[in-house]
């Protein structure tokens, strides 16, 4: 008599939690494909979520009879995420993609990038009511709107909620066009939104563009040493871009390297999305706190611009402060679009993109500050 | 009178904390918000200091390169 029981042996071991995680994985894939929300990350994460929630999944480490059988995704996690390698390498690609010209022509724009990190610290304080300091700080960094920084900080602080933090960080980054406009409108008057800011285009020398990433690494590294890996890899990527003699490397970093790491990063992070770890009340709370972080970042930038307007002769459209979060270039575009909605002749793009780029630098510095405090 | 108020407040907070313990890793320590505000102030000042230094250096580089032209 042939025994076919092996065919349904594992089917009977499927838990409700795993089915819920399949649904969550499906939602992430749906959002990536249908809504075009951060598809490069949400799609691998969604598929990975399904992969790791299959009973006795061979993709992750399994212990049978006291013997650990290595799973490919766990091996990748240990090799690339637990030591922060993948996010840091991804920063080389991101650095190679960024053109810092808007902030080099108007360095003061960087102040808005600094102000818009308020949400990180405010959310940290809020989260500390419910979580230990290391987890609270990792949750706060969701407000950096910067996936690699969030991973590095959460990993270095040994947070147990890396999966939920990643989902929140990348989902809200994709939701910037929905989250930011109501906050901006709530905090500004129509008169303020109509403020025009003429763009004084200025040329930046090649020497300045080359020196910028080197000098930033030294300045940020000396003041906040914990941020040096984050800022250093970002600026190294930018140096490759700007030096003018490494075009092939720059192109590789922007495309092949960034894409390759993104694939590994997305699917590997899903090892932290196993039902028993992810389906906790804490996850919902983290998603809520992450939203708070984005809201208060936006508010911080807008309110800082309004504060500056009290003292400056040349008025600033406070909406550009909201672009100080690191979600690049979505946030810059959102502000530009809002400006055009109020006045079709008001072009804020150059200013908002400048602020947005500075948010990239400031969020990395904020990550370094958090690591200085709790790392 | 003051001692009574403090005792009642402590009891309320303890009860809330016990209720919150049902949620596994989640705790309820409202005073942590206040005690961590110092980190918020230091962190924000720190970011402005670093960004301020970067603005100064960038402006200086811009000035030097303009002069050289």
Structural domain spans, chain B: 1-35, 36-69
B38 part of contact set with chain A, CB < 8 Å: no
Inspect the interface and report whether the beta carbons of B39 and A205 lie closer than 8 Å.
Answer: no
Inspect the interface and report whether the beta carbons of B40 and A121 lie closer than 8 Å.
Answer: yes
What token pair was written down for A165? Answer: 């933090």
Inspect the interface and report whether the beta carbons of B43 and A121 lie closer than 8 Å.
Answer: yes
**pLDDT tens, residue by residue, A126-167:** 999 999 999 999 999 999 888 889 988 998 999 989 888 988
Report the gap between the CA of B12 and the closest CA in chain A (Å): 15
A-B C-beta contacts closer than 8 Å: 130
pLDDT of residue A27: 93
**pLDDT tens, residue by residue, A58-78:** 999 988 888 888 899 999 999
pLDDT of residue B22: 43
A3-12, A79-88, A256-265, A330-339, range with the lowest pLDDT: A3-12
Inspect the interface and report whether the beta carbons of B62 and A204 lie closer than 8 Å.
Answer: yes
pLDDT for residue B17 is more than 70:
no
Give B20's pLDDT tier (boundaries 50, 70, 90). very low
Mean pLDDT to the nearest integer, A74-83? 90
pLDDT of residue B7: 59
What token pair was written down for A207? Answer: 């020497």
Report the b/e string of A160-193 with b at 16+ CB within 10 A.
Answer: bbbbbbbbbbbbbbbbbeebbbebbeebbeeebb
A85: Cβ contacts below 8 Å, ≥ 6 apart: A79
Task: Say how far residue A343 (Cα) sits from the centre of its chain.
Answer: 31
């Amino acid at each position: 008599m042939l025994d076919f029981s092996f065919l349904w042996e594992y089917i009977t071991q499927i838990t409700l939690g795993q089915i819920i995680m399949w649904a969550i994985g499906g939602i992430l894939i749906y959002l990536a494909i249908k809504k075009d929300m951060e598809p490069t990350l949400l799609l691998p994460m969604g598929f990975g979520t399904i992969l790791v929630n299959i009973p006795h999944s061979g993709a992750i480490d399994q212990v049978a009879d006291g013997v650990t059988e290595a799973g490919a995704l766990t091996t990748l996690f240990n090799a690339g995420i637990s030591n922060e390698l993948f996010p840091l390498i991804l920063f080389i690609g991101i650095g190679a993609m960024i053109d810092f010209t808007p902030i080099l022509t108007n360095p003061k724009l960087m102040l808005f990038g600094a102000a818009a990190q308020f949400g990180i610290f405010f959310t940290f304080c809020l989260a500390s009511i419910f979580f230990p300091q290391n987890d609270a700080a990792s949750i706060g960094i969701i407000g950096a709107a910067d996936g690699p920084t969030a991973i590095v900080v959460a990993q270095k602080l040994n947070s147990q909620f890396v999966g939920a933090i990643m989902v929140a960080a990348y989902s809200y980054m994709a939701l910037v066009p929905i989250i930011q406009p109501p906050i901006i409108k709530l905090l500004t008057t129509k008169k303020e939104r109509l403020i025009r800011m003429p763009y004084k285009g200025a040329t930046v020398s090649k020497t300045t563009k080359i020196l910028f990433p080197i000098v930033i690494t030294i300045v940020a590294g000396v003041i906040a040493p914990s941020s040096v890996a984050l800022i250093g890899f970002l600026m190294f990527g930018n140096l490759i871009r700007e030096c003018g003699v490494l075009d092939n490397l720059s192109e590789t970093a922007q495309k092949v390297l960034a894409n390759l790491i993104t694939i590994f990063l997305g699917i590997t992070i899903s090892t932290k999305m196993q039902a028993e770890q992810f389906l906790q009340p804490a996850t919902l709370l983290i998603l809520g706190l992450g939203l708070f972080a984005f809201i208060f970042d936006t508010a911080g930038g807008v309110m800082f611009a309004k504060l500056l307007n009290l003292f400056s002769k040349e008025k600033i459209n406070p909406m550009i402060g909201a672009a100080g979060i690191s979600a690049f270039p979505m946030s810059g575009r959102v502000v530009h679009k809002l400006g055009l909605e109020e006045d079709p002749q008001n072009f804020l793009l150059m200013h908002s993109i400048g602020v947005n780029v500075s948010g990239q630098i400031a969020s990395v510095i904020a990550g370094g500050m958090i690591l200085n405090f709790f790392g | 009178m003051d001692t009574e108020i403090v005792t009642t407040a402590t009891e309320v907070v303890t009860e809330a904390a016990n209720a919150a313990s049902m949620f596994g890793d989640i705790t309820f320590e409202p005073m942590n918000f206040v005690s961590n505000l110092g980190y918020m102030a230091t962190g924000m000042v720190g970011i402005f200091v670093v960004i301020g230094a970067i603005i100064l250096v960038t402006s200086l580089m811009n000035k030097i390169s303009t002069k050289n032209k």
